[in-house]
Amino acid sequence: MKCNKLGLALLVSASAIGLSGCFDDKPGDKLASETIRKYAEQDLSEGLEIADYQRSNGQVDPDSANRYKVTYSYNLRLKKPLAEVVLANAKDMQSSRVASGKQETGAFFDMTKLQNSLGDMQTGMIVSQWTQGQGDAFKARRDAFVGGCSPCVAYWNSEDAPKEAEARRTAFLLAWIYFENLGFKDGAKVGDSTPRNAWAAFSKTEKGWQPAS
């Protein structure tokens, strides 16, 4: 049988185009991974790391075949015991608050002072509701959590800076609330983790798939 080279060439070309289309019907792993990793890293704070980062889902936008949503799952894993992580983040928060306080000008209408005052009021309410919601059980829980970490006890008692005691305790409790909301239990130790996920939308353009703005 005589081979039709032109026909064969067209067939190969058409197949290549078809395969290319198949492989281009969704964002590639490299683009998706690098884009979404930036969102996942927003969960990071002192004492945490991202583990088991992997693509878990992808779907075409029901309203547009040129848009695609990709989801990655991962774990936030402790690099230190939870109490130590809470302490490190409390210190960071307190340092930021002190730095912000130094930016107050003392003027009659000081936007920085106003923002700081509103922030202090909000955090105070959050902490108060959280502690009061636990009733009489909170004191025993607090003593067990703080008491198992010597640096935490020193920070909580604030003997080196008595005037900062209230602010330090508020920062410590606020950090504790944050990690509890992430899913960490009081006795969490190094290596314990909590599951999270992050996603991003992508648009198909003339230059290929790009993160949607």
In this predicted model, what pLDDT tens digit does every residue of 22-78 receive, in sequence order? 446 899 999 999 999 999 999 999 999 999 999 999 999 999 999 999 999 999 999
Closest CA to 83 of 144, 164, 134: 144
In this predicted model, what pLDDT tens digit does every residue of 138-160 receive, in sequence order? 999 999 999 999 999 999 999 99
> How many angstroms separate the CA atoms of 181 and 177, rounded?
6
Residue 147 β-bridge partners: none
Q: What angle do helix axes 111-133 and 165-182 make, rounded to 10 degrees?
A: 60
Question: Residue 9 pLDDT > 50, yes or no?
Answer: no
**Global pTM?**
0.79
In this predicted model, what pLDDT tens digit does every residue of 97-150 receive, in sequence order? 777 767 767 776 667 655 756 677 888 899 999 999 999 999 999 999 999 999
